Structure 1
Amino acid sequence: MSFMESTRAAGIDPVLAQSFRVSARCGCFMQAARSLNIKSTQLRKHLAQLETQLQCSLFNHQDNGLALSREGLQLQAQLIALAHEHDVPVIEQPLIRLAVAESILHDILGRDLVSLLRRNASVRLDIITLDSELSLRAVSADVVLWLAGTESPLPGPSFPVSEPQPLARLDYLPHIAKRYSRVAARPDSLDDLADFMLVQWQPDRQVESFRPWNGVVDQRLAGVVQLHSYELMLEMIRCSACIGLLPNYMSQFDRGLVGLSGLFDQPMQRQVWMAVNAESAGQAEVQMIVELIHNTFNERREWFEA
């Protein structure tokens, strides 16, 4: 690299240089914007500003993505050489630990977490699933979402946390796939359940408020499946004509499922609680996750009020 080329590359604004380097590496404006944690429109402005400054086009647009022009290849080589000379370190991102009840992660929060990662590819997120009181007591995290009684968040996390916040009250009903049951033939009494296979997620056996349902399952001598996978339980209800206990919002999550009301006199309810680690509550990255959770539950408010 000549002295003139080195001086030219070194004189580029670091933000513009970084925008170009990442775009050249990714070959895609959208992916580059995610990696830089900025909007794609802002990234394009940076690149347009750089091209104006250098008075040349740095990219050739192709059907399957971006390709560097001759001038772009030259600039990339110059910037790589400069980066090696200065040995610029990668900025470490703080690790955010999110512990969340498995069913809440699968049904409610998962989609918005995926959207967060699409917008910010540099985030460091440790997602821990909770499927029992034991796992809740053993976990250490920055943000915790768990299921407990409707009146009290106990048992809760074992480390110091902020005041637990109730996010949603969940009613639970036995559910069946619509395609396996005509309206007129759907069970409307406990005796009618004898003609159907029951499926139970094992962690629900420990839930006190589910005693009516657990009693029916425990009495079964045949036609019952118990398993540890929440996702597999859902699949069995969808595809195997099984009946299983699910939150009442499930018919909103999956229009092919329907709740069977009127089978039990005693309501089966749980509350979603959230708390933040007292030591990390003030961190901006933790507050970002807390805000995402609040927005998710607010947007799905009708799921819990139906």
Structure 2
Amino acid sequence: MSVMESTFVAAIDPVLAQSFRVSARCGCFMQAARSLNIKSTQLRKHLAQLEAHLQCSLFNHHDNGLALSREGLQLHAQLIALAHERDLPVLEQPLIRLAVAESILHDILGRDLVALLRRNASVRLDIITLDSELSLQAVSADVVVWLAGVDSPLPGPSFAVRDPQRLARLDYLPHIAKRYSRVASRPDSLDDLADFLLVQWQHDRQVDSFRPWNTLVEQRLAGVVQLHSYELMLEMIRCSACIGLLPGYMSHFDRGLIALPGLFDQPPQRQVWMAVNAQSQEEAQVQMIVELIRNTFEERREWFEN
């Protein structure tokens, strides 16, 4: 194939042409597959079909990646010219707004959201962290995951939603790093906490069910650290011999931390709720996020069983 006629190039299957153009732009099959939201094996199949149709090789493979062959360069130029000639618009992806309680995003959903983005580089996702009741009331989103009481999702988002769905019930217990607490010296009562540094996430001061813990912290005249960062609070517990109130699943998330049961008569409880904006509930991308969240909680069901 020495010369590619524009009419011949225009007749190429649009799916194969798009696979080639994205691969040429990215210079990496894996990245191109992510951008197209398909598997790399499917992308390679498309490119093989295109090369068989054109009866030539379109790429030269090197140790540090791939480059277009002479014929590939020619085809790429023809496709770009054809796109300009047709004035083809860029396919815009809908913007999906996901609002999540900060602790749930960090501990439970973060890893699966990263995996989603690794598979689909073309997604448009706005992730909003919720760190207070005020932020929940003020947010506008397509999908919301928040923490509230066990029996009621209120207070919830202020916009119209479908019936909120319960995802999990969480018990909260004081936690300490295993390396800083031998079994014989672990505190068994509230009085035993006098010898330990306590750490509190400022957001938890607003939670009514945490009142026994919050009262204990407020009565402290020394040995208290209060933080506005959830992640930093976890790091303080891991590395500074602090004791802090955390969800009961934390030993699954970080096996270096251990719960201290029995310090309170009943562990405080909260419920994880999810709701979908009534105006965007039927959109495919919104449903994709909803299914991801449901599957994540289902896969971690043992984290929440008591």
TM range (shorter): over 0.9
* 2:232 aligned partner: 232
Instruction: Check conservation: 2:19, 2:43, Cα contact below 8 A.
Output: yes
- How far is 1:7 from its partner? 2.7
* Superposed structure 1 runs of 4+ greater than 4 Å apart: none
What is the Cα deviation at residue 5 of structure 1? 3.1
One-letter code aligned to 1:72: G
Give 1:224 shift.
0.4
Structure 1 letter corresponding to 2:224? V
Partners of 2:4 and 2:74 within 8 A in 1? no
The reply to whether residue 167 of structure 1 matches residue 173 of structure 2 is no
Q: Which moved more, 1:296-305 or 1:36-45?
A: 36-45
Unaligned runs of 5+ in 2: none
Counterpart of 2:45? 45
Task: Kindly report the root-mean-square deviation, in angstroms, between the aligned alpha carbons of the 2 structures.
Answer: 1.3
Moved more, 255-264 or 8-17: 8-17
Matched, 1:54 2:54: yes
The residue that corresponds to 1:146 in the other structure is: 146
Cα separation, 1, equivalents of 2:182 and 2:210: 27
- Equivalent pairs counted in the alignment come to 305
* Cα distance in 2, alignment partners of residues 244 and 83 from structure 1: 59
Matched, 1:115 2:115: yes
Which residue in 2 is equivalent to 1:206?
206
1:148-172 CA deviation, whole Å, 9 max, x = no partner?
A: 0101111111111111111100000
Deviation at 1:66, TM superposition (A): 1.5
Structure 1 match to 2:30: 30
- SS of residue in 2 equivalent to 1:274: strand
The Cα shift of 1:38 comes to 1.3
TM, length-normalised to structure 2: 0.97
Alpha-carbon displacement from aligned partner over 1:113-158 (angstroms, at most 9, x marks no partner): 1111111111111111111111111111111110001011111111
2:18 paired residue number: 18
**In the TM superposition, what whole-angstrom CA distance separates every residue of 1:219-270 from its partner, at most 9, and x where no partner exists?**
1111101011001101111111111110010000001000111111122100
Alignment of structure 1 residues 69-218 onto 2, 5 Å: 69-218=69-218
Counterpart of 2:260? 260
Q: Which stretches in structure 1 are left out of the alignment for 5+ residues?
A: none
How far 1:29 sits from its partner (Å)?
1.0
Q: Which amino acid aligns with 2:178?
A: K
Q: Which shifted more, 197-206 or 177-186?
A: 177-186
**SS of match in other structure, 1:279:** coil
TM (norm. structure 1) is 0.97
- Contact 1:28-1:66 within 8 A present in 2 as well: yes
2:126 partner letter: D
Q: Is the partner of 2:5 in helix, strand or coil? A: helix
Alignment check: 8 A CA contact 1:212 1:266 kept: no
What's the CA shift string for 1:154-202, capped at 9, x where partnerless?
A: 1111111111111100000011111111111111111111111111000
Structure 1 residue 6: Cα displacement: 2.3
Structure 2 letter corresponding to 1:102: E
